[in-house]
Amino acid sequence: MSDLDGFTHAGLKTALDIKENYKTGNPVCLPGDESNILIPEYLLNHNLNLETIEDPIVLAMLATRDPEAPMALAAAARMSPLGRKTKLLAGVYGVVGEASRHPVVKKCIALITDQAFDPDAITSIRGHAATFIARSRRDYTGALRENLKSLLDGSIVPRMFVRQFFELTEAGNMRTDIRRKLVVSLLLSANVRPAIKFLFLENLSRFPATVRRAIITAVLKSEPSHHMDIIKEEVRWILGRERDEKSPQPDSVGVSPSLDLGDKQRAGLRWN
């Protein structure tokens, strides 16, 4: 199919890419712009051209498979007017409602289909989605703020803080530039323990490539100090390891799988 009721080959590819992102934990970005993570507000802005994300199969993927209710609800709201175009799209929209993991999405889609895709019902759902998304973001931001306080007073362990940082910022669909500034400020702060910074560096792959590069650049350009020199050395080691992984590896003979001296030194530098 090249174009059947709005379903396209390009849309199918985008949907499969998003499915893979869900499996690997990578963020969903705007088509052709890896520095710009898709947020619910983009889906609610009908004046914004989202290219292949406009395809019904992509919106269906987001509405059924996205782990966060705000994104799934925004996708369902954007998809809702399509149900008036053909019986096929109306049927697909109903299936999305049945398949979604989020009760709020199921409820909203049921309301629209019960009203036979009435424009007033669609407008009402869009308003409800906007309110729901704004409230969810406030809740996630508040939880993140409390975790930061807990970090500074030592009442939350580093690994838990970092794990919840990613969970909250991703679940709250925090804007990419804000996430970048937060991470940079934590990495450069003299009040944040090195163990926490190492954990953030270990999770750099969870950021889009351009954001990740900006974070690395900010660290490497920071003012020298004993504290930051350790962090910079870690960043250089990560970059070197990635270069080694990308380059062809010759067959090894008699190489021990245990940590080499550099790894052991790094492990000691981290945790001893």
List the alpha helices (DSSP H) in the chain: 9-24, 40-44, 56-65, 69-79, 87-99, 103-114, 119-152, 158-171, 176-188, 194-202, 209-220, 226-246, 261-271
For 211-271, what is the HEC assignment? HHHHHHHHHHCCCCCHHHHHHHHHHHHHHHHHHHHHCCCCCCCCCCCCCCHHHHHHHHHHH
CB 172 within 8 A of CB 135: no
What is the Cα–Cα distance from 258 to 163, expressed in whole angstroms?
28
CB 152 within 8 A of CB 191: yes
For 202-225, what is the HEC assignment? HCHHHCCHHHHHHHHHHHHCCCCC
The single residue listed with the structure tokens 């803080």 is 161
| Beta pairing class for 29-30 and 33-37 | antiparallel
Distance of CA 207 to the CA centre of its chain: 7
The single residue listed with the structure tokens 């020298």 is 224
Q: What is the pLDDT along the chain (272 residues), one digit of tens a residue?
A: 445 566 888 999 999 999 998 888 778 888 888 778 899 999 999 899 999 999 999 999 999 999 889 999 999 999 999 998 889 999 999 999 999 999 999 999 999 999 999 999 999 999 999 999 999 888 888 888 898 888 888 888 888 999 888 888 877 777 777 888 889 999 998 888 888 899 999 888 888 777 888 899 999 999 888 888 889 999 898 888 878 777 665 554 444 444 443 443 444 444 33
